[in-house]
Structure formats: C-alpha cells, structure tokens
Amino acid sequence: GAVVSQHPSRVICKSGTSVKIECRSLDFQATTMFWYRQFPKQSLMLMATSNEGSKATYEQGVEKDKFLINHASLTLSTLTVTSAHPEDSSFYICSAKGPFDSNQPQHFGDGTRLSIL
Amino acid sequence: GNSVTQMEGPVTLSEEAFLTINCTYTATGYPSLFWYVQYPGEGLQLLLKATKADDKGSNKGFEATYRKETTSFHLEKGSVQVSDSAVYFCALRNSGGYNKLIFGAGTRLAVHP
C-alpha cells in the first residue's frame, strides 16, 4: 500500500532554533500534502494544505511566517518551524494524496514529536 | 459547517468484550466517512471507510455502517483484544476542494486482559 515517510520522528532543540520536518511519499506522486498538529490527548488540527509547485493554503489562525511549507516536488513536502519556542512543542503529522484518487483516503506519516526546551 | 462528534473516552473494556464507539457528523452534500486508528507515538492508520449511504466498511473485525438518516458512522467490534488499545478517530471528507479531512476529537480505547 501507499507509504508516507516522515523525518525526523523526534526532535529536541533549544528555543529560537528553526526546525525542518520532511514528509515523503515513497511509492506514489503526492500532488497534495497536508500538515497537522496534534496536542496531547487531542485531535488533529489541520494547519495547511500544499499542492506541488504552488503556495500552501493555511488554515485560519496558523501563522504562515512561523510555519513555512514547501512542496517543491511530487514526493516531498517540508514544514519548517521558524524560531521555535516551547509553545510550538507538539506532535506534527503529515499526510499525502495522489492526483487521481479523489475517493481514496489520505496516507499518513508516523508523525514528528517536537520538543522545544 | 462540517463537523464530527465522537463519544468521549476513555473506553475501558475487558478482552473479548463488545465495542461500540459512537460517531455522528454534520455535513453538506455527501461526505465520505472514515475511521482512523492511532497507536501510541505513531501517526494515523486508516481502519475503514465508507463513501456512500448504507455502505459498510470493515477491517480487522471492525465494522461501521454509513447511516445517512441518523448521520452516524458508529464503530463496532464483536470481540476486542488487548492489541486494539489505541485512539480511534472518526473523520469525514467532503467532495471538492482539496478533500480536507475533518476529524472528531478521538476516543481512547483501553482493553485489559
């Protein structure tokens, strides 16, 4: 089945550091990728939707300058948390879908746990 | 707007007990409905789905039927195992746009031997 790889799985870094998270589709072309944030014991909150080669669409309340999304190829999207602070600590999950499977579900990565000290 | 409401957890069961996790939705049009499972420290895995009214999704002993008249998609399993302990998310996806998923709050299931 379709596989989405997310890297790294865990990041611990100091406040003020910028952190990049990668999301790769391993066996299909991901024309659309989604980035979610999940707080402990809560549901997933969609942060943004990105289409290959175009600017990401951010959900209301998500700072686009804080959470930079790049989707430069059909197999890779990156989320960069700029100048991260402790309140940015969370579990970030990406998902991806291909171009012709409007009735098929998104395929999720295993998530990245970000801890800012 | 579109929304998904799940029963609150945690749900605690003994092994081999019957499981029901309720899910109701509000949506315009004809959404597709999904159940995802999240094991500790991991991302989400699709458990089952249904794309139209009266469809029944099933996988690994879990079932859910798309009920348009009651706008529900309740998850059931006849006999749970300890390995089923996880968080279960009900979700809907409307057609059009970028096919965004809208998730319920999640229900934590704990199964004891």
Q: Is the pLDDT of residue A107 over 60?
A: yes
The pLDDT, as a whole number, for residue A42 is: 82
Nearest-by-Cβ selection for A46 from B51, B89, B100 = B100
Answer whether A80's CB lies under 8 Å from A19's CB.
yes
The C-alpha atoms of residue A24 and residue A80 are separated, in whole angstroms, by 15
Tokens for A111, please give them. Answer: 């998530």
Chain A residues touching chain B at CB-CB below 8 Å: 6, 32, 34, 41-44, 46, 49, 51, 57, 93, 95, 97, 102-103, 105-111, 113
Instruction: Give A1 or B107, the one with higher predicted confidence.
Output: B107
The C-alpha atoms of residue B33 and residue B91 are separated, in whole angstroms, by 6
Task: Suggest the residue from B23, B44, B89 to mutate for an interface test with chain A (most A CBs closer than 10 A).
Answer: B44
Percent of residues, chain A, with pLDDT higher than 90: 67
A48-66 pLDDT per residue, tens: 999 888 889 999 999 999 9
Predicted confidence band of residue A104 (pLDDT cuts 50, 70, 90) = low
Collect the ranges in chain B with pLDDT lower than 50: none
Q: How distant is the alpha carbon of residue B1 from its chain centre?
A: 20
Highest mean pLDDT among A7-16, A40-49, A69-78: A7-16
The pLDDT, as a whole number, for residue A16 is: 96
The residue written with tokens 């009735």 in the block is: A103
In 3D, which of B63, B39, B69 has the Cα closest to residue B50?
B63
Cβ–Cβ contacts within 10 Å for residue A61, how many?
A: 7
Tokens for A55, please give them. Answer: 């600017």
A59-96 pLDDT per residue, tens: 999 999 999 999 888 899 999 999 999 999 999 999 99
Give the type of residue at B106: G
Task: Suggest the residue from A3, A44, A50 to mutate for an interface test with chain B (most B CBs closer than 10 A).
Answer: A44
Contact B43 A111 (CB under 8 A): yes
Q: How far is B42 from chain A (nearest CA, A)?
A: 5
The pLDDT, as a whole number, for residue B76 is: 98
Predicted confidence band of residue A14 (pLDDT cuts 50, 70, 90) = very high
The pLDDT, as a whole number, for residue A102 is: 61
The pLDDT, as a whole number, for residue B98 is: 60
Q: Is the pLDDT of residue A100 over 70?
A: no
Strands A10-13 and A19-25: unpaired
Q: Is the pLDDT of residue A117 over 60?
A: yes
In 3D, which of B42, B41, B33 has the Cα closest to residue B71?
B33
Average pLDDT of chain A? 90
The pLDDT, as a whole number, for residue A2 is: 64
Tokens for A41, please give them. Answer: 């014991």
